[in-house]
Amino acid sequence: MTGKNANSSEDPGDQGGVFVCEQKMGQFGQHFDAYLQLPHICSKTEGTIRTEKAGQKRFWEYLNDTGFEGDELGVTNKKAEEYIQHLTNMGRKANTIRTSIAILSMFYREAVRQDWIFKNPFSMVKQPRKAEEPCSVLSVKQIKHLLSSPDLTTYTGFRDRVILELFYSCALRRHEICLVKPADFGDDFRSIRVLGKGQKEAILPVGKMAAHFLRFYIEKVWTTINKTGCEELFLSCYTGKRLNDYQIYRIVKGCGVLAGFKETISPHTFRYSIATHLDEEGVDIRYIQEFLRHDDISTTARYIKQGFHRLQSVHHNTHPREKSD
């Protein structure tokens, strides 16, 4: 087993820095930096903070390009509406625009709470209608094919296989995978303790195949690549440092390409797929809700609905009575 995998999506120079915003546009960013230091903000997940930084930086670039004078707290409702129109003119999708609004509105809403400004300029902007963008749902056969895509003769390939196994076995979220430690597993690696959204703790079952690969990974691979004494389980084979959520996304996406899938495979594909598979096996929706750790059962129903749309499409394309004479 070697340390480098030619098919791995991991880049030794990729530390998730594509979204950093140290180089600010003009005077923009001082108040956003103060926002990031607030206790309830800096406790957000790494991926959430990176996404907020990216959304803010794009907005600063727009303000800078349009000759806006002042800092980010001087933005008016009119300027906010102009920015939304700018995104629309650029051909941004409706959901992308809605996400941009949400990111900026979170900052300005907090700025109101901190008495930095009187009113959130994004509170009254007109948003495009939310578009349904169903996540890919893979069949059990496709999941097995995806799981077998990493090269198990390399450290990175074996690590990637364990990541995929845990995503499917436990329906973990991306940031949860980043924070997994060997100490989080129970006896025989058949259970895992995770700290999810809102710092909510949960104990989840681990399948026997996932446990099998996990045990070997910890004993043979993790101890070898852990060059820095890192507590987390999934590390860069180049630096020995913990993988961030962007690197995890790249790994999963790369495995999907390696497996030959035309659609983009993401960590969330596993959550949609396992929800659909459990539903197809007749599992009660409230158990699925508990397994996925959704606060609202309507969210779980939406996950299962994606599986129905897939079944409906297959039925339409293959059922004998659907074919024209």
Tens digit of each residue's pLDDT (9 = 90 or more) over 68-120: 988 999 999 999 999 999 999 998 888 889 889 999 999 999 999 999 999 99
User: Does one domain contain both 220 and 89?
Assistant: no
Same domain? 158 vs 101: no
Mean pLDDT in residue range 149-159: 95
pLDDT of residue 42 exceeding 70: yes
Supply the pLDDT for residue 146: 97
What Rg do the C-alpha atoms of the chain give, in angstroms? 22
Question: What is the rounded average pLDDT of the residues 17-31?
Answer: 57
What are 203-213's pLDDT values in tens digits?
999 999 999 99
Q: Which one from 58, 79, 241, 268 is the annotated catalytic residue?
A: 268
Contact 214, 184 (CB under 8 A): no
For residue 288, give every residue at least 6 positions away whose Cβ sits within 8 Å of its Cβ, in sequence order, or none. 275, 278, 279, 300, 303, 304
> Is there a domain that residue 126 lies in?
no
Q: Highest mean pLDDT range out of 42-46, 115-119, 279-283?
A: 115-119
Residue 290 lies in a domain: yes
147 and 274 in a single domain? The answer is: yes
Q: Which of 271, 277, 293, 310 is catalytic?
A: 271
Residue with tokens 């907005």: 59
Q: For residues 34 and 162, give the distance between their C-alpha atoms in angstroms, rounded to a whole number.
A: 38
Q: Where are the beta strands (DSSP E) in 26-118?
A: none
Same domain, 101 and 184: no
| Domain boundaries, position 295 | 140-317
How high is the mean pLDDT of the chain?
Answer: 85
Position 203 in a domain: yes
Question: Of 4, 113, 144, 197, which is the active-site residue?
Answer: 197
Can 271 be counted among the known catalytic residues? Answer: yes
Q: Looking at the domain assignment, is residue 301 inside a domain?
A: yes
Residue from 173, 174, 250, 310 carrying the catalytic annotation = 173
Domain boundary pick from 98, 113, 128: 113
Same domain (yes/no): 93, 167: no
Which of 4-8, 263-267, 305-309 has the least mean pLDDT? 4-8
The C-alpha atoms of residue 198 and residue 44 are separated, in whole angstroms, by: 9
pTM: 0.67
State the CATH number of the domain containing residue 245: 1.10.443.10
| 84 in any annotated domain | yes
Same domain, 211 and 144: yes
Question: Same domain, yes or no, for 307 and 184?
Answer: yes
Highest mean pLDDT among 12-16, 96-100, 168-172 belongs to: 168-172
Q: Is residue 92 part of a domain?
A: yes
More confident residue, 143 or 136: 143
Cα(57)–Cα(61) distance, integer angstroms: 6
Which of 70, 96, 113 terminates a domain? The answer is: 113
Domain boundary among 97, 113, 129: 113
| Per-residue tokens: 288 | 């699925």
Residues 193 and 301 in one domain: yes
Residue 25 has pLDDT above 60, yes or no: no
Percentage above 90 pLDDT, the chain? 58
The question of whether 268 is a catalytic residue gets the answer yes
Judgement on whether residues 311 and 222 belong to the same structural domain of the protein: yes
Q: Which of the residues 83, 155, 272, 303 is marked catalytic? A: 303
Question: Same structural domain for residues 313 and 168?
Answer: yes
Task: Identify the helix (H) or strand (E) that includes residue 39.
Answer: helix 39-42
Whether 265 has a pLDDT exceeding 80, the answer reads yes
- With respect to residue 132, please indicate whether it lies within any of the assigned structural domains: no
Higher pLDDT: 302 or 3? It is 302
Q: Is 44 a known active-site residue?
A: no
Q: Reply yes or no on whether 197 is catalytic.
A: yes
Annotated active-site residue 319? The verdict is no
The verdict on 283 and 201 lying in the same domain is yes
Looking at the fold, whether 177 and 286 belong to one and the same domain comes out as yes
Number of domains in the chain: 2
Asked if residue 323 belongs to a domain, the reply is: no
